[in-house]
Amino acid sequence: MALPIEDYALLGDMETAALVGRDGSIDWLCLPRFDSPACFAALLGNQDNGRWLLGPKDPAKTTRSYFGDSFVLETTHETRGQTWSCCAGRVCHMSSAPVTRMSLTSLQVSG
Protein backbone atom coordinates (compact mmCIF):
# COMPACT_ATOMS: atom_id res chain seq x y z
CA MET A 1 0.00 0.00 0.00
CA ALA A 2 1.34 3.44 -0.91
CA LEU A 3 2.07 6.02 1.78
CA PRO A 4 -0.16 9.09 2.27
CA ILE A 5 0.87 11.82 -0.21
CA GLU A 6 2.15 14.05 2.63
CA ASP A 7 4.79 11.41 3.40
CA TYR A 8 6.56 12.01 0.07
CA ALA A 9 9.36 14.44 -0.81
CA LEU A 10 10.24 15.55 -4.33
CA LEU A 11 13.65 15.26 -6.00
CA GLY A 12 13.91 16.59 -9.54
CA ASP A 13 16.04 18.23 -12.22
CA MET A 14 13.43 20.03 -14.40
CA GLU A 15 13.40 17.04 -16.81
CA THR A 16 12.11 14.36 -14.45
CA ALA A 17 11.29 13.92 -10.76
CA ALA A 18 11.16 11.21 -8.12
CA LEU A 19 8.75 10.97 -5.20
CA VAL A 20 10.62 9.61 -2.18
CA GLY A 21 8.62 8.18 0.71
CA ARG A 22 9.40 8.81 4.36
CA ASP A 23 10.51 5.16 4.53
CA GLY A 24 13.22 5.82 1.89
CA SER A 25 11.33 4.26 -1.01
CA ILE A 26 11.28 5.85 -4.47
CA ASP A 27 7.64 5.13 -5.32
CA TRP A 28 7.29 7.27 -8.48
CA LEU A 29 9.85 7.96 -11.19
CA CYS A 30 9.54 8.42 -14.94
CA LEU A 31 12.75 8.24 -16.97
CA PRO A 32 14.25 10.04 -18.75
CA ARG A 33 11.50 12.74 -18.85
CA PHE A 34 8.25 13.65 -17.08
CA ASP A 35 6.20 12.25 -19.99
CA SER A 36 8.09 8.93 -20.10
CA PRO A 37 6.59 5.69 -18.83
CA ALA A 38 7.04 5.15 -15.09
CA CYS A 39 9.83 2.80 -14.06
CA PHE A 40 8.78 2.99 -10.39
CA ALA A 41 5.03 3.26 -9.77
CA ALA A 42 4.34 1.91 -6.27
CA LEU A 43 2.53 5.20 -5.59
CA LEU A 44 -0.36 3.81 -7.66
CA GLY A 45 -0.71 0.53 -5.82
CA ASN A 46 1.93 -1.43 -3.94
CA GLN A 47 5.60 -2.38 -4.18
CA ASP A 48 4.80 -4.87 -6.96
CA ASN A 49 4.35 -1.83 -9.25
CA GLY A 50 8.07 -1.07 -8.80
CA ARG A 51 10.09 0.85 -6.24
CA TRP A 52 13.64 1.30 -4.99
CA LEU A 53 14.11 1.28 -1.21
CA LEU A 54 17.00 2.53 0.90
CA GLY A 55 15.67 2.43 4.45
CA PRO A 56 15.74 0.52 7.73
CA LYS A 57 14.30 -2.98 7.99
CA ASP A 58 13.06 -2.39 11.56
CA PRO A 59 10.52 0.26 12.63
CA ALA A 60 12.16 3.68 12.88
CA LYS A 61 11.55 7.27 13.89
CA THR A 62 12.23 9.23 10.71
CA THR A 63 12.91 12.93 10.22
CA ARG A 64 13.86 14.73 7.05
CA SER A 65 14.30 18.17 5.60
CA TYR A 66 15.65 19.99 2.56
CA PHE A 67 18.86 22.00 2.94
CA GLY A 68 17.98 25.68 2.50
CA ASP A 69 16.49 26.37 -0.93
CA SER A 70 18.03 23.27 -2.50
CA PHE A 71 16.70 19.88 -3.58
CA VAL A 72 19.18 18.13 -1.27
CA LEU A 73 17.11 16.02 1.11
CA GLU A 74 18.50 14.75 4.40
CA THR A 75 16.66 11.80 5.92
CA THR A 76 17.52 10.45 9.38
CA HIS A 77 16.24 7.11 10.64
CA GLU A 78 16.52 6.19 14.32
CA THR A 79 16.03 2.53 15.19
CA ARG A 80 16.73 0.69 18.42
CA GLY A 81 20.41 1.37 19.11
CA GLN A 82 21.26 2.83 15.69
CA THR A 83 20.91 6.13 13.84
CA TRP A 84 21.67 6.68 10.19
CA SER A 85 21.36 9.64 7.86
CA CYS A 86 21.16 9.76 4.10
CA CYS A 87 21.61 12.89 2.01
CA ALA A 88 20.28 12.62 -1.53
CA GLY A 89 20.70 15.23 -4.21
CA ARG A 90 18.50 15.74 -7.18
CA VAL A 91 17.80 13.35 -10.00
CA CYS A 92 20.75 14.01 -12.33
CA HIS A 93 20.87 13.54 -16.09
CA MET A 94 24.33 12.80 -17.42
CA SER A 95 24.58 14.28 -20.92
CA SER A 96 27.68 12.21 -21.74
CA ALA A 97 25.89 8.89 -21.14
CA PRO A 98 22.34 7.62 -21.69
CA VAL A 99 21.87 7.25 -17.92
CA THR A 100 19.75 9.09 -15.41
CA ARG A 101 20.65 8.62 -11.76
CA MET A 102 19.86 9.90 -8.30
CA SER A 103 22.98 11.11 -6.58
CA LEU A 104 23.53 9.91 -3.04
CA THR A 105 25.81 12.51 -1.52
CA SER A 106 26.41 10.88 1.86
CA LEU A 107 25.38 8.06 4.15
CA GLN A 108 26.27 8.13 7.84
CA VAL A 109 25.62 5.37 10.38
CA SER A 110 26.16 5.53 14.15
CA GLY A 111 25.41 3.26 17.05
More confidently predicted of 102 and 44 = 44
pLDDT at 36 over 90: yes
What is the torsion angle, in degrees rounded to the nearest 10, for the CA atoms of residue 55, residue 59, residue 61 and residue 67? 10
Question: Which pLDDT belongs to residue 109?
Answer: 60
Does pTM surpass 0.85? no
Question: Which pLDDT belongs to residue 94?
Answer: 38
Residues 6+ apart with CB under 8 A from 81: 111
Return d(Cα 78, Cα 60) in angstroms, integer.
5
Tens digit of pLDDT for each residue in 41-98?
A: 998 888 888 888 888 888 889 999 887 777 788 888 888 888 888 877 643 443 444 3
Question: Which pLDDT belongs to residue 7?
Answer: 92
